[in-house]
Amino acid sequence: MYPTGIRPVLSSLGQRLSQSFTKTTVSPYTGRFVRYFSRSYRSSPIRGLSSTLRVPYRSFLSTNLTSPYTQKRTTMSAQKTSVNVAVIGTGNIGGELLNQIQGFNISAKAANTPQFNVVAISSIEGHFISKDYSPIDLGNWKAVSQTGNGPASFEVLADFLGKSTLPAIVVDNTASEAVAYSYPLFLSKGINIATPNKKAFSAPLAKYKEIIDASRKSGALLMHESSVGAGLPIISTLKELILTGDEILKVEGIFSGTMSYIFNNWSPNGKKGTAAFSEVVKVAKDNGFTEPDPRDDLNGMDVARKVTILSRIAGLDIESPEAFPVHSLIPEPLVTAASADDFMAGLPAFDASIAAVREAAEKEGKVVRFVGESDLVSKKTSVSLKSYETTHPFANLQHADNIISFTTKRYSTTPLVVIGAGAGAAVTAAGVLGDMIKILSQVRAADAPSKN
């Protein structure tokens, strides 16, 4: 992960430092300061965009924060500008997001600043559209969304949002490809998107480009911070590195909260692993870390999607997440399991065979971790199961934390590392709300009266 020449520095001191990695800014490898973020550092030491941008906007297209765009103007003053919001998907993340929006609106109301008017909620059970654009009572969103007065089609929703005088955001909290592939319809009408759904950004290359192009053409924003590392500032950090003229050499890390949780507990650092693999998978699922179907985590595709998303932003034209080596943890006989429940029921039968992997690592004094890598120099990407020395930062993660390391021309000796909770409803929804707030502030900026 880091330059091998400095590895000998690993020592009991390094071990101690890496264990407190989330609390220190000292690299466990070099003893030097690293640029380190956790969720609370979101407003980040990385600031200011270079006036001499060397990186073409092509790889960002319209998904960056600085691209020019047109927004609907309202006759209200900039102070009063609010945004209409349609929420699609009210599961683990969507439900939490609606609660967080309610909290945001209470603070915004008290401060007399713009709020999010949730005017449509779409779940599998029902679809509610507030025909006169009056905001839905978020204290009662579940009951309201089930009254199902609105038609489900994306066309009707896009038309409804497009007809309002206020700018709009569609928030996609599903893992649905159909919803992701509908983004061009919304974007072409100037409707912004915020989403934790990875499907659009890891779609086959042509589809991905079509979606990104729709955003670029209309200028509507397409924000997806939570699609990698949940609420951690991964995508914004990567884009800002590139926008400020840095050159990305390598992106690597533990990109999955589920895999992090599973391996931190199944192959623990400093003691012999005793937990059954199927047991820790179940706990990860019960904690809401997994994809709606946990097989999407265990087959490596969730990490492959995240590696695809970051690699594309960094400039690699990855054809699809299936186009590079991806390690699957699905036992062969369970590949054809009819449902997620059947898969979970069949998994305990394979606990003993996967335990052999852990034992082999333990014999070498190592732990097992599930990692994603993208080498922008050799243009090689992979998702694999690897064993690490106990002093390695990947071996020292907690709970469901992600660790993502950017080696760049500027951060070459010591990479820029982002670490923290990488899954779970609260942090993921916060990442989506953060994107919505960025869109809101762009809309306000566009609405501010011109001085000319």
Ligand X SMILES: N[C@@H](CC=O)C(=O)O
Ligand Y SMILES: NC(=O)C1=CN([C@@H]2O[C@H](COP(=O)(O)OP(=O)(O)OC[C@H]3O[C@@H](n4cnc5c(N)ncnc54)[C@H](OP(=O)(O)O)[C@@H]3O)[C@@H](O)[C@H]2O)C=CC1
With CB under 5 to 8 Å by kind, the binding choice for 176 among Na ion, ligand Y, ligand X, none is ligand Y
Distances (CA, A) of 283 to 37, 139, 346, 428: 27, 30, 16, 18
If one asks whether residue 230 binds ligand Y (CB under 6 A), the answer comes out as: yes
If one asks whether residue 151 binds ligand Y (CB under 6 A), the answer comes out as: no
Comparing CA positions, the residue from 421, 406, 390 lying closest to residue 2 is 406
If one asks whether residue 174 binds ligand Y (CB under 6 A), the answer comes out as: yes
For residue 290, the minimal CB distance to ligand Y (Å) is: 7
Judged by CB under 6 A, the residue of 230, 234, 397, 416 near ligand X is 230
Find the residue with minimal CB distance to Na ion: 229
With CB under 5 to 8 Å by kind, the binding choice for 89 among ligand X, ligand Y, Na ion, none is ligand Y
The mark string for 393-422 relative to ligand X (x by CB under 6 A, - otherwise) is -----------------------------x
If one asks whether residue 423 binds ligand Y (CB under 6 A), the answer comes out as: yes
If one asks whether residue 236 binds ligand Y (CB under 6 A), the answer comes out as: no
Distances (CA, A) of 400 to 149, 199, 289, 382, 396: 39, 22, 8, 21, 12
Q: How many residues does the chain have?
A: 452
For residue 49, the minimal CB distance to ligand Y (Å) is: 27
Q: Tell me the DSSP string of 369-419.
A: EEEEEEETTTTEEEEEEEEEETTSGGGG--TTEEEEEEEESSS-SS-EEEE
Judged by CB under 6 A, the residue of 289, 350, 388, 411 near ligand X is 289
The mark string for 221-240 relative to Na ion (x by CB under 5 A, - otherwise) is ----x---x--x-x------
If one asks whether residue 350 binds ligand Y (CB under 6 A), the answer comes out as: no
Regarding beta strands 192-194 and 366-375, do their DSSP bridges make them parallel or antiparallel, or are they unpaired? unpaired
| Size, binding site for ligand Y by CB under 6 A | 29
Comparing CA positions, the residue from 89, 320, 311, 57 lying closest to residue 200 is 320
| Distance, C-alpha 231 to centroid of its chain | 6
Q: Are the CB atoms for 89 and 173 separated by under 8 Å?
A: yes
For residue 99, the minimal CB distance to ligand Y (Å) is: 13
Helix, strand, coil shares of the chain, percent, nearest 5, are 45, 15, 40
| Residue where the block lists tokens 């600085």 | 66
If one asks whether residue 291 binds ligand X (CB under 6 A), the answer comes out as: yes
If one asks whether residue 226 binds ligand Y (CB under 6 A), the answer comes out as: yes
With CB under 5 to 8 Å by kind, the binding choice for 211 among ligand X, ligand Y, Na ion, none is none
With CB under 5 to 8 Å by kind, the binding choice for 447 among ligand X, Na ion, ligand Y, none is none
The dihedral sign for the CA sequence 430, 435, 440, 441: positive
Of 3-11, 176-184, 263-271, 323-331: span binding ligand Y (CB under 6 A)? 176-184
Distances (CA, A) of 187 to 168, 180, 434, 442: 10, 11, 19, 16
| Distance, C-alpha 59 to centroid of its chain | 18
Of 49-57, 167-175, 339-347, 361-369: span binding ligand Y (CB under 6 A)? 167-175
By beta-carbon proximity to ligand Y, the closer residue of 376 and 430 is 430
Binders of ligand X among residues 174 to 193 (CB under 6 A) are none
Residue type, 237: T
Rg (CA), the chain: 22
Q: Give φ, ψ of 302 to 5 degrees.
A: -60, -45
If one asks whether residue 88 binds ligand Y (CB under 6 A), the answer comes out as: yes
Pairwise CA distance, residues 169 & 12, whole Å: 50
With CB under 5 to 8 Å by kind, the binding choice for 88 among Na ion, ligand Y, ligand X, none is ligand Y
Ordered alpha helix ranges (H), 244-378: 257-266, 277-286, 295-298, 301-313, 340-346, 351-363
Judged by CB under 6 A, the residue of 93, 168, 171, 259 near ligand Y is 93
- Out of 306, 366, 386, 451, the active site residue is 306
For residue 167, the minimal CB distance to ligand Y (Å) is: 22
If one asks whether residue 173 binds ligand X (CB under 6 A), the answer comes out as: no
306 is catalytic: yes
By beta-carbon proximity to ligand X, the closer residue of 15 and 428 is 428
| Residue where the block lists tokens 């589920």 | 258
Tokens standing for residue 358: 């852990």
For residue 154, the minimal CB distance to ligand Y (Å) is: 9
Pairwise CA distance, residues 381 & 374, whole Å: 4
Mapping DSSP onto H, E and C, the string for 368-380 reads EEEEEEEECCCCE
The mark string for 120-149 relative to ligand Y (x by CB under 6 A, - otherwise) is --xxx-------------------------
Residues found near ligand Y in the complex (CB under 6 A): 88-94, 122-124, 173-176, 178-179, 196-198, 226, 230, 257, 288-289, 291-292, 423-424, 428
Residues found near ligand X in the complex (CB under 6 A): 230, 256-258, 289-291, 297, 302, 422-423
Q: Return the active site residues.
A: 306
